Amino acid sequence: MERGIENNMSLQKLEREIETIKARNNRVEKDKAWETSWTRRIAITVSTYLVVLLFFSVIHTDSPFLSALVPSIGFLLSTLTIDFLKSRWLKHQV
């Protein structure tokens, strides 16, 4: 009888651990999806543009609206390049 109770408790513990691992994996997958999403990229690009535009306006740079595009577009292009390099790097890993 005691052995059956121990096995049942061990089984319940394993089931809880499996559920914990599944929940963690779900969070990790959602975080990964956010990190690689176009929504995030566009949000950062727009935020970068607005911050740089504000800075360039404060320091009275010529053409602040046009000048603020450079770092914003640079960020967006870098995310595309990084994905390409990452996929190549992962392909060559063991």
Question: Per residue in 41-59, pLDDT tens?
Answer: 999 999 999 999 999 999 9
Q: Answer yes or no: do 31 and 74 share one domain.
A: no
On whether both 65 and 82 belong to a single domain, the answer is: yes
Q: Identify the sign of the CA torsion 56, 62, 65, 69.
A: negative
Which among 48, 44, 45, 68 is positioned nearest to 56, based on CA atoms? Answer: 68
14 lies in the same domain as 47: no
Six token digits for residue 11: 């089984």
Containing domain of residue 29, as a range? 1-35
In the chain, the number of structural domains is: 2
Report the run of H or E that residue 92 belongs to, with start and end.
none
User: pTM value?
Assistant: 0.71
Is the pLDDT at 94 greater than 80, yes or no? no
CA gap 28, 68 in Å, rounded: 34
Rounded mean pLDDT, 72-78: 93
